Amino acid sequence: MRLDKFICKSTQLTRDEATQLILEGVVTVDGKPVFETTLQVHENNQIFLKDDLLIPRPSRYILLNKPKNTESSNVNGRHPSIMNLLDIDDVDNLHIAGRLDADTTGLVLITDDGRWSFNIIRPDKDCEKVYRVGLRDALNDPRSKFTVNEIIHKFEQGIQLQGEYGLTAPAKLKYLNSRQVLLTITEGKFHQVKRMFSAVGNRVVQLHRQSIGQIKVDVEIGQWRYLRTEEIAYFL
């Protein structure tokens, strides 16, 4: 964790206030003054602010069911930030592990534990994300360019996205009805789900993330809860 963030997590100071104290030389790490706000520190370091040993608060792990027309960001943009839905202290210290587009609903994980969230987003972890996808065109339409089985096979082999080198990682497609499928992917490329269906001549009109790994969304749209111990442990 960055030193300035460690200070914020151990005190009631803002990021700007923590930065100022570091630059003043009143913060020590293992007995040595430091002046670098981005220095990476961990729980084994002894970090003092003047004469006070800093002990960070326990990390927080949150599941949120994102509504449509909200942004996966810490600040409001064109649409309101999903952080507005959290009625807890120190929201600014949290970050989002796996963002969703403004028009996409469903599971978002939020935390202040950078190592935990890194295990979710790093590609080599092959973390499965399951989406319920609503499509503009019926998959069993005889005028479609590909049959349902052909599309399932293409997704299993990997899709060539426009502007990308190489294929996507293998994906699993489960047919629900003519205009709804479940898609399981392990990547998080820009607009990936929408671009995958565009590559086979269809268009996504509704997108909802149901799960990340073993964590499933189980609260109403716009609601949130803290993760249970076993859910947190899944990504440790």
Residues with a known catalytic role: 101
**44 Cβ neighbours under 8 A, 6+ residues apart:** none
Q: Is the dihedral of CA 224, 91, 70, 192 positive or negative?
A: negative
